[in-house]
């Protein structure tokens, strides 16, 4: 024990003799911080602004925390000891506080023993700009960029004087551009500076547009004319961005139609069956996704990944069951098949209502599918729809590989082109029908998995897509996958273009009319089926 005590004393002595050692330095820093906070507490509102700027420029890592707490009326000191504290919870008579200098939790103190350092509205508004300056001096470029963008429309007079220096010192071009735009907005709004209008020309920021619109109403003809010209260039860019957004939503809607129709295209093309229960197979895939999330609570990402094979299998098995129990007995009788599968769809809907619930269910979207991809300040792409587009293309590519590179695909194409000739060549058409119907139904289940990420899951989910799916199949060409892809994306985009001025219902009617007119000219669709069966 004696040796350890001796070593500890020697170590302490060495530290104390070390040049510029910490005890004095820590005490000095503590003293300076105490003096700054004391000045903030004791100064008048007119003097507090200068103290706030001193705190902001002190370089202390705690400065932002102090000023944020001050602006929120949570900075104070204990009346008896003068110790500065920050209020963590101000509910009830006793408040939970921590030491402002050390962040040590001090427990609960009676609110009567706390003297809160007050702030008025004028100073609180100044604090926003001052806190931004602290962020603009951060070593993290992303933090500086976020702070610079937040300044647009909120620059004060004091901050405007400091921004040119901050712009000159900034190394990042993106941060510089954001700061320059923030300063230009202030100069246009508050000073009517015509030279700053050119900086805002082409900007998609809403604050910049508001500043230019204000300048357009100016009594200065030159300023108003310059602002009007700048707004023209902005409006052109906004139109292009709105068109891009409409195209994106059209492609996302089209990708959903492709997923919903591509399985139907296979079964309809091979077997000639009008399967009115196809929408309910989509619904089963969506409910499988919901069910997987119930089995794996708190893990929506893993549940979604596992739902892809599970949704395929559930819908495929249900489709095979429908084919074996209903459709195989009604081959060659399309009207009876239509009515029978319509009855199956009603049975499946009622089964889901009874077993699960008649109410819609919400499927949680994983974090990696949430949010948006920001292209610019006027255009952002929602990630869930972006993933749906990618998923539709992957499913399409997978089906193309199956049809082109596997024995099943060869048999399916043979049966599609000429069933009698395929039978004479030794192809078991019944087996092909079963596998084809299972494959098409499984793809419908995958469509349900994708739909669960962009809409609520309910018993009537499939009904919203069955008619559109048939339109896609007929428009693209029965049994042709490329036709289904092109038709789905085209109809989705056209529908999205028509909706803004025609409304959702009228847009669907117009699309239906366009398809009818098209079928009058090309009865077999965009990509007509080839083979003897197509000619007959």
449-482 pLDDT, tens digit per residue, is: 999 988 889 898 888 888 888 888 888 877 678 8
Q: Determine the pLDDT at residue 350.
A: 92
User: Cα-Cα-Cα-Cα dihedral of 347, 348, 354, 358, to 10°?
Assistant: -110
Binning pLDDT at 50, 70 and 90, where does residue 519 land? confident
Q: Which residues pair with 379 in a beta bridge?
A: 376
19 pLDDT above the threshold of 60:
no
Q: What is the pLDDT of residue 70?
A: 87
pLDDT at 29: 63
User: Does 323 reside within a domain?
Assistant: yes
pLDDT of residue 101: 85
Taking 60 as the threshold, does the pLDDT of residue 399 lie above it? Answer: yes
At residue 393, the 3 state secondary structure works out as helix
Confidence of residue 529 (pLDDT cuts 50, 70, 90): low
- pLDDT value at position 23? 38
Separation of alpha carbons 476 and 157, rounded Å: 62
Residue 289 has pLDDT above 90, yes or no: yes
Q: pLDDT tens across 185-232, in order?
A: 988 888 888 888 888 888 888 888 888 988 898 888 889 999 999 898
Pairing of strands 379-382, 84-89: unpaired
Average of per-residue pLDDT across 136-146: 82
Residue 517 located in a structural domain? no
Report in angstroms the alpha-carbon separations of 214 from 203, 209, 221, 226: 15, 9, 13, 12
pLDDT in tens, 400-439: 898 888 888 788 777 766 777 877 878 887 788 888 888 8
Judge whether 148 lies within some domain.
Answer: no
Residue 385 and residue 387: Cα distance in Å, rounded?
A: 5
Domain that holds residue 304: 245-371+379-460
Tokens of 464: 């919203």
> In the predicted model, what is the mean pLDDT of residues 83-102?
88
Express each pLDDT in 43-75 by its tens digit: 888 888 888 878 877 767 788 888 888 888 899
Place of tokens 């087996």: 431
List pLDDT tens digits, range 314-335. 999 999 999 889 888 887 787 8
| Residue 478: φ, ψ to 5° | -60, 125
What integer pLDDT is reported at residue 11 of this predicted model? 44
Short-list 296, 249, 282, CA closest to 492: 249
In 3D space, the residue among 186, 495, 193 whose CA is nearest the CA of residue 487 turns out to be 495
| ∠ Cα 298 301 307 (to 5°) | 105
pLDDT of residue 288: 94
**What does the pLDDT read at residue 21?**
41
- Strands 379-382, 372-376: pairing is antiparallel
Residue recorded with tokens 């499927």: 363
Domain count, the chain: 1
Per-chain mean pLDDT for the chain: 83
> Does position 28 have pLDDT exceeding 70, yes or no?
no
Which spans in 418-478 are helix H? 419-424, 429-451, 463-476
Tell whether the model's pLDDT for residue 5 goes beyond 70.
Answer: no
Q: What percent of the chain has pLDDT over 70?
A: 91
Is 269 part of any domain?
Answer: yes
Task: To the nearest 10°, report the CA torsion of 303, 306, 308, 309.
Answer: -150
d(CA 510, CA 178): 45
d(CA 313, CA 327): 20
pLDDT at 13 exceeding the cut of 70: no
529: in domain: no
Is-above-0.75 flag for pTM? no
Give the count of beta carbons closer than 10 Å to the beta carbon of residue 158.
Answer: 13
The SS3 assignment for 78 reads: strand
Question: 99-103, 167-171, 443-447, 501-505: which has the minimum mean pLDDT?
Answer: 501-505
Is residue 534 scored above 70 in pLDDT?
no
Which has the closest alpha carbon to 304: 92, 167, 133, 457?
A: 457
The pLDDT tens digits of the residues spanning 225-279 come to: 999 998 988 888 888 888 888 889 889 888 988 988 888 888 876 677 788 898 8
Which pLDDT band holds residue 98 (cuts at 50, 70, 90)?
very high
If one compares 500 and 149, the residue with the highest pLDDT of the two is: 149
Strand partners for 380: 374
Predicted pLDDT at 528: 67
128/166 Cα distance (integer angstroms) = 16
446 contacts 278 by C-beta, under 8 angstroms: no
**Segment 386-398 mean pLDDT:** 92
Residue 24 lies in a domain: no
In a domain, 482, yes or no: no
In a domain, 81, yes or no: no
Strands 379-382, 94-99: parallel, antiparallel or unpaired by DSSP? unpaired
Confidence check: pLDDT of 361 > 60 = yes
pLDDT, tens digit (0-9, with 9 covering 90-100), for 110-128: 888 888 888 888 787 777 7
């Amino acid at each position: 024990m004696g040796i350890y005590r001796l070593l500890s004393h020697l170590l302490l002595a060495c530290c104390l003799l070390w040049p510029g050692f910490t005890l004095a330095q820590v005490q000095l820093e503590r003293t300076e911080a105490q003096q700054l906070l004391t000045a903030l507490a004791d100064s008048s509102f007119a003097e507090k602004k200068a103290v706030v700027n001193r705190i902001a420029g002190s370089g202390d890592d705690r400065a932002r925390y102090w000023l944020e707490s001050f602006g929120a009326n949570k900075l104070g000191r204990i009346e008896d000891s003068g110790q500065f504290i920050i209020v963590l919870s101000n509910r009830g008579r006793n408040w939970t506080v921590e030491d402002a200098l050390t962040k040590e939790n001090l427990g609960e103190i009676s609110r009567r023993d706390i003297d809160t350092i007050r702030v008025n509205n004028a100073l609180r508004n100044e604090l926003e700009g001052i806190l931004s300056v602290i962020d603009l001096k951060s070593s993290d470029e992303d933090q500086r960029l976020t702070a610079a963008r937040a300044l647009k429309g909120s620059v004060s007079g004091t901050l405007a004087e400091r921004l040119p220096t901050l712009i000159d010192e900034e190394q990042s071009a993106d941060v510089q551009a954001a700061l320059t735009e923030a300063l230009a907005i202030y100069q246009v709004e508050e000073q009517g500076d015509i030279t700053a209008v050119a900086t805002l020309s082409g900007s998609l920021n809403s604050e910049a547009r508001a500043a230019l619109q204000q300048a357009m109403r100016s009594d200065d003809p030159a300023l108003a004319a310059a602002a009007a010209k700048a707004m023209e260039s902005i409006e052109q860019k906004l139109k292009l961005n709105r068109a891009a957004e409409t195209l994106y939503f059209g492609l996302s809607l089209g990708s959903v139609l492709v997923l919903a129709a591509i399985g139907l295209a296979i079964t309809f093309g091979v077997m000639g069956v009008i399967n009115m229960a196809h929408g309910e197979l989509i619904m089963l895939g969506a409910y499988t996704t919901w069910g997987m999330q119930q089995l794996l609570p708190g893990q929506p990402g893993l549940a979604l990944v596992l739902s892809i094979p599970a949704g395929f299998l559930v819908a495929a098995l249900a489709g095979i069951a429908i084919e074996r129990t209903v459709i195989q007995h009604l081959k060659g009788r399309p009207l009876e098949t239509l009515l029978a599968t319509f009855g199956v769809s009603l049975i499946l809907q009622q089964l889901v209502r009874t077993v699960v619930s008649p109410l819609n269910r919400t499927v949680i979207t994983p974090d990696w599918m949430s949010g948006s991809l920001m292209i610019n300040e006027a255009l952002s792409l929602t990630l869930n729809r972006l993933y749906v587009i990618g998923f539709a293309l992957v499913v399409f590519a997978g089906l193309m590989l199956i049809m082109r590179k596997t024995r099943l695909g060869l048999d399916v194409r043979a049966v599609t082109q000429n069933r009698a000739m395929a039978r004479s060549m030794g192809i078991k058409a019944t087996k092909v029908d079963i596998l084809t119907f299972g494959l098409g139904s499984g793809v419908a289940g995958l469509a349900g998995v994708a739909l669960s990420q962009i809409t609520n899951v309910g018993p009537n989910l499939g009904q919203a897509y069955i008619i559109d799916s048939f339109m896609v199949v007929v428009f693209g060409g029965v049994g042709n996958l490329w036709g289904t892809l092109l038709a789905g994306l085209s109809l989705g985009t056209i529908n999205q273009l028509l909706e803004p001025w025609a409304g959702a219902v009228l847009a669907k009617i117009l699309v239906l009319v366009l398809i009818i007119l098209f079928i009058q000219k090309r009865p077999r669709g965009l990509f007509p089926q080839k083979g003897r069966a197509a000619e007959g």
